Each structure stands twice: as C-alpha cells, then as structure tokens.
Amino acid sequence: MYEALLFLHNLVRWLVLLFGAWALLQPGPRPGAFFAHTLTLQVVLGVVLAFLSPLFQGALASLQETMATPGEARYFVAEHWVGGLLALGLAHGGLSQARKGRPLARLLFGLALLLLFLSIPWFRPLFRL
Ligand code: HEM
C-alpha cells in the first residue's frame, strides 16, 4: 500500500505540472479546474502517504531531533507539505478568478506553479517504474 501510494504520488506530480502549465498558458476555467483538482488529489495522496510513510512517521516520533538535523526527514516534516498546501490555495483561488473571467487567474496559477517547483523533492526519483 505504501509503495503504491509513493508510486502514485510520484506520478501525479507530472500531471499537476502539466495541467499547471496549461492553466498558466490558457488561464480559463477548464485548464484551471484540471490543475486545481489534480493538485487536490495530489495533496490527499500526500496526506495519506504521510501517515503510511516510515520516514515521515519515524521523523515525527523523534521530532526534536528531526528539527535539529537538516536533511531529508526535516524537509518532509517541515517544508514539503507547506508548499503543497499553499500552492493548493493559490490554484483554487486562480480557478475561482478564472471562472469569473478575471485576469488575476494567470498570476495565481503562475504563483502556484512556482511554489510547486520549489516544493517538489527533485532529489527523489523522477519516475518509479
Ligand atoms: C499536503 C501536501 C503533501 C504531503 C503531506 C506530502 C507528503 C509527502 C511525503 C510524506 C513524501 C515522502 C514519502 C516517503 O518517502 O516515505 C512525499 C514525497 C513526494 N512528494 Fe509529496 N506531499 C504533499 C504534496 C505534494 C505535492 C503538491 C507534490 C507535487 C505536485 C508532491 C510531490 C512529491 C514527490 C515528487 C515526492 C517524492 C516521491 C518519490 O520519492 O517517489 N507532494 N510527499
């Protein structure tokens, strides 16, 4: 179950980025909905993954030590999900603006995409095949 979720979370990242780029280039309701909803799925997968991940749970169990030691464990416990959640808010804000036909949509989609690029653990495998 854990491996399957890690595989999906890894893969859905590419869909999120693809739809994010689409929403940025054509900031309408349809691309925006694909982006925001795929990102919602990714966040749900991430939250479930955090419960099942030995890395994340181990890091939580010794939180003081985790926070005092820069590295992968601290990155996942303290940084990764924060960027994901902020991007989620921005993408849904963008969708709402796109539905009203407002030009602010593009800025919000762009900021969400930028935050995603900064929050993705690029040191991990690009694909898990
Ligand atoms: C609340 C939001 C999120 C949570 C709680 C979360 C949680 C996690 C956790 C716990 C891991 C490491 C699992 C492990 O190695 O045991 C992980 C890895 C990863 N996350 Fe997230 N995540 C979130 C959002 C996102 C978003 C928005 C993206 C990209 C669009 C993303 C992309 C990735 C990638 C690419 C990995 C590496 C997967 C691998 O090693 O194959 N995550 N995430």
Q: Give the integer Cα–Cα distance in Å for 106 and 11.
A: 25
**pLDDT confidence of residue 129:** 82
Q: Which of 30, 16, 25, 1 is nearest to 87 (CA)?
A: 16
In testing the pocket of ligand 1, which one of 6, 39, 76, 80 has its CB within 8 Å of the most ligand atoms?
80
In testing the pocket of ligand 1, which one of 2, 9, 12, 92 has its CB within 8 Å of the most ligand atoms?
9
Question: What is the DSSP annotation of 18-56?
Answer: HHHHHHHHS-SHHHHHHHHHHHHHHHHHHHHHHHH-HHH
Q: Give the integer Cα–Cα distance in Å for 116 and 21.
A: 11
Does the C-beta of 23 come closer than 6 Å to ligand 1?
no
Does the C-beta of 38 come closer than 6 Å to ligand 1?
no
Residue 101 DSSP label:
T
Contacts of 88 (CB under 8 A, 6+ apart): 36, 39, 40, 43, 112
Amino acid at 12: V
Q: Whose CA is nearest to atom 38 of ligand 1?
A: 10
Specify whether the CB–CB gap between 32 and 19 falls below 8 A: no
Q: Give the integer Cα–Cα distance in Å for 28 and 14.
A: 20
In testing the pocket of ligand 1, which one of 8, 49, 57, 75 has its CB within 8 Å of the most ligand atoms?
49
pTM above 0.85, yes or no: yes
- Digit-by-digit pLDDT tens for the chain (129 residues) are 999 999 999 999 999 999 999 999 999 999 999 999 999 999 999 999 999 999 999 999 999 999 999 999 999 999 999 999 999 999 999 999 999 999 999 999 999 999 999 999 999 999 998
Does the C-beta of 125 come closer than 6 Å to ligand 1?
yes
**pLDDT confidence of residue 101:** 97
**pLDDT confidence of residue 70:** 93
